[in-house]
């Protein structure tokens, strides 16, 4: 079961799947391999696809895979699934998707569960994207079922984020749109053959017009798709590619990559620092007193944190 970094770099799906498993389990051995892979990353185009439940994202992803394969590129997909890993939901989803592309080694699909971790998507997803990147996939597609925080997170990982809407959703979706405007580089109205599609397109265009987009000079297109009939898929892939060119030409592609690295780096530092601090004080008498005081509400957490960090020295 030893994983060789070289196998990953040569694209072995077996080795890739094993490494992802290690990362999900937060096994330090996984990190050790990521370190070796790191210099082989930074090349892939990372696309995000997000939208509410029932917007047909899975079908859309399947159609996108076929279109991208027909353009002779290799694609890896990570589906962020809010259901439990135990539920079988993730596995079932995998199996259904895989069926269509299971004979094709230019396609690699993984579902990931994120339950139970605060910001749990961030760390593992970043790792998985690095693995796909090192494996040499041209396109990495991150799919999330999300209406809240998850969408903000996906935008932090993807060069281009496509936001899927559909005709006739309720008030929650309407209220959400303004928020989604901020993260969408491309807007997709799926199920565009059902009533109300043109209204949603109009609404989105109107909102995009009044929002201040001049800053980065990219005007997000609104694309109608019928994923079940492969309609609009070529246009969608074209839009991703236009946005990719725009990012390259404006220097934003590299800027994105560095921003992610830095964000990820800061997160690692935070976690490692906390581990170290709590590890050091856990068994100290002063630490015990602090925890007792917290439990009895004799001290508030803000003052406790300040008190704890007084002793912290960065001596380098």
Q: Where in 258-297 is the site for a second copy (CB under 8 A)?
A: 258, 261-262, 264-266, 268-274, 276-278, 280-281, 284, 286, 291, 294-295, 297
Angle between helix 149-157 and 252-281 (nearest 10) = 120
Select from 10-18, 70-78, 98-106, 143-151 the region that touches a second copy (CB under 8 A). Answer: 143-151
Considering only residues 171 through 200, tell me which ones interact with a second copy, judged by CB under 8 A: 171-179, 181-182
Candidates 7-15, 19-27, 135-143, 256-264: pick the segment binding a second copy (CB under 8 A).
256-264
- Output the CA torsion sign for 56, 50, 235, 126: negative
Residues 87-106 binding a second copy (CB under 8 A) are: 87-90, 92-93
- Distance, in Å, from the CA atom of 269 to the CA atom of 264, rounded to the nearest integer, reads 9
| Pairs from 67-73 (Cβ < 8 Å, separation ≥ 24) | 67/233, 67/234, 67/236, 67/237, 68/138, 68/139, 68/237, 69/101, 69/104, 69/106, 69/107, 71/237, 73/106, 73/138, 73/139
Using CB under 8 A, which residues numbered 56 to 75 contact a second copy? 58
User: What is the full DSSP assignment across 91-140?
Assistant: HHHHHHHHHHHTT-TTEEEEEEE-TT-TTHHHHHHHHHHHHHHHTT-SEE
Of 65-73, 166-174, 195-203, 232-240, the segment contacting a second copy by CB under 8 A is 166-174
Tell me how crowded residue 277 is: count the other CB atoms within 10 A of its CB: 15
- Binds a second copy (CB under 8 A): choice among 138, 150, 230, 235: 150
Instruction: Give the one residue of 14, 194, 219, 311 binding a second copy; rule: CB under 8 A.
Output: 311
Quick one: which of 156, 160, 165, 225 contacts a second copy (CB under 8 A)?
Answer: 156
CB of 78 to a second copy, least distance (A): 14
308 binds a second copy (CB under 8 A): yes
110-129 positions binding a second copy, by CB under 8 A: 113-122
Nearer to a second copy, 89 or 106 (CB): 89
Q: Does 253 bind a second copy (CB under 8 A)?
A: no
Give the dihedral sign, CA 279/128/145/148.
positive
Which residue bears the tokens 């960090």? 309
CB 111 within 8 A of CB 143: no
For 42, phi then psi, to 5°, come to 100, 5
Among the listed ranges 3-11, 78-86, 222-230, 237-245, the one in contact with a second copy (CB under 8 A) is: 78-86
Based on CB atoms, which residue is closest to a second copy, 10 or 307? Answer: 307
**CB-based burial label for 44 (10 Å; 0-12, 13-18, 19+):** buried
The angle, 0 to 180 degrees and rounded to 10, between the axes of the packed helices 171-183 and 149-157 is 20
Residue 60: CB minimum distance to a second copy, A: 13
H or E segment to which residue 268 belongs: helix 252-281
Of 37-56, binders to a second copy (CB under 8 A) are: 38-39, 41-42, 52-54
- Of 228 and 242, the one with the shorter C-beta distance to a second copy is 228
In eight-state DSSP terms, residue 86 is T
Q: How far is the CB of 69 from a second copy (least distance, A)?
A: 24
Closest approach, Cβ 293 to a second copy, in A, equals 11
208 binds a second copy (CB under 8 A): no
Question: Does residue 228 bind a second copy (CB under 8 A)?
Answer: no
């Amino acid at each position: 079961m030893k994983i060789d970094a070289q196998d990953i770099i040569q694209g072995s799906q077996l080795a890739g799947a094993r490494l992802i498993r290690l990362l999900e389990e937060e096994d330090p051995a996984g990190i050790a391999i990521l370190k070796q892979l790191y210099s082989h990353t930074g090349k892939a185009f990372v696309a995000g696809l997000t939208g509410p439940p029932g917007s047909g994202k899975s079908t859309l992803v399947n159609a996108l895979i076929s279109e991208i394969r027909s353009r002779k590129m290799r694609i890896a997909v990570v589906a962020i699934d809010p259901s439990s890993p135990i539920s079988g939901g993730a596995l079932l989803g995998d199996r259904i998707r895989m069926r269509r592309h299971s004979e094709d080694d230019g396609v690699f699909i993984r579902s990931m569960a994120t339950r139970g971790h605060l910001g749990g998507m961030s760390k593992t997803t970043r790792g998985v994207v690095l693995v796909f990147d090192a494996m040499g996939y041209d396109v990495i597609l991150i799919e999330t079922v999300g209406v809240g925080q998850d969408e903000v997170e996906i935008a932090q990982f993807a060069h281009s984020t496509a936001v899927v809407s559909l005709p006739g959703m309720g008030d929650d979706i309407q209220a959400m749109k303004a928020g989604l405007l901020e993260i969408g580089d491309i807007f997709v109205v799926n199920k565009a053959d059902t009533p109300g599609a043109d209204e949603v397109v109009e609404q989105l265009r109107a909102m995009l017009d009044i929002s201040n987009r001049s800053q980065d000079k990219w005007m997000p297109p609104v694309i109608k798709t019928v994923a079940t009939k492969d309609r609009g898929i070529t246009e969608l892939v074209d839009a991703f590619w236009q946005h990719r060119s725009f990012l390259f030409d404006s220097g934003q592609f590299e800027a994105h990559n560095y921003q992610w690295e830095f964000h990820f780096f800061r997160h690692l530092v935070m976690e490692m620092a906390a581990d170290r601090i709590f590890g050091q004080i856990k068994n100290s008498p002063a630490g015990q007193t602090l925890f007792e005081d917290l439990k009895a509400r004799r001290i508030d957490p803000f003052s406790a944190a300040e008190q704890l960090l007084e002793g912290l020295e960065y001596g380098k």
